[in-house]
Chain A
């Protein structure tokens, strides 16, 4: 599995703003922190605002603040806004398998896929903040 850059930016932005505990951050500050173009980040932020994870304030002192429920929102909720989650090269898991090798491989890859989905669906933004705090300590 390899996440697209927009997906990673979405995760960075949500966690960064959740960490800010209600404070606003400008797109420029976030773009600078993660060393990405502000245009690319702006597109990502718009998607997150539309999904209700962020609130945007316009004007000179404008910026973005976290408005989601960090206890209930999971990594998967954010990732799925940008891309479907699948094992690379194994997107058609429900299609009929043409060979015994494909069928056998499908069993192994399904196991990986289910583990991955369970992990991403069970780590909330709040848990992410705890993991970050622990790894800094």
Chain B
């Protein structure tokens, strides 16, 4: 929540509490991983294996990744991402996906630096 407040005007504690509960129900498919420094949490990543969504073979999704702004670029996100990919691999999954805002260039750059490229799906939406 602290990270959310620092990087986003619309911090939403209820959302994060729900996420924490939701991503602790199936340990074979979900991972909520944090990085600690001393007594403080300085980063986190949330991922899940989803089966056959959108006609896709089972794949790992990165749903959220955050590192405390003042210690970014120190390799923490890379370690968290690596650990999550290892969890997916151990579960037999060979593809990892995420979805990002086009304007979020820092996050796009990070995931591209990890070797991720545009995949075979296109996200579409409409105001209703």
Contact = CB atoms under 8 A, between A and B. Distances in A.
Contact of A124 (B102, B113, B115, B118): B113
B115 A114 contact: no
Interface in B79-128: 102-103, 105, 108-109, 112-113, 115, 118
B113 A130 contact: yes
By size class, the interface of chain A is 10 to 19
B115 A134 contact: yes
Contacts of B108: 118, 121-122
A123 interface: yes
Contacts of B113: 71, 124, 126-127, 130
B115 A122 contact: no
A74 interface: yes
A115 interface: yes
A119, A122, A126 — most chain B CB neighbours (10 Å): A122
A74 B118 CA distance: 17
Q: What is the interface of chain A mostly: helix, strand, loop, or mixed?
A: helix
A122 B109 contact: yes
Given A114-B102, A118-B102, A74 B109 contact: yes
A71 B112 CA distance: 11
A127 B108 CA distance: 11
Contact of A127 (B102, B103, B109): B109
Contact of B105 (A115, A122, A126, A127): A122
26 contacts: A71-B73, A71-B113, A74-B109, A114-B102, A115-B102, A117-B102, A118-B102, A118-B103, A118-B105, A119-B118, A121-B105, A121-B108, A121-B109, A122-B109, A122-B112, A123-B112, A124-B109, A124-B112, A124-B113, A126-B113, A127-B109, A127-B112, A127-B113, A130-B113, A130-B115, A134-B115
Given A118-B102, A124-B112, 16 more contacts: A71-B73, A71-B113, A74-B109, A115-B102, A118-B103, A118-B108, A119-B118, A121-B109, A122-B109, A123-B109, A123-B112, A124-B109, A127-B109, A127-B112, A130-B113, A134-B115
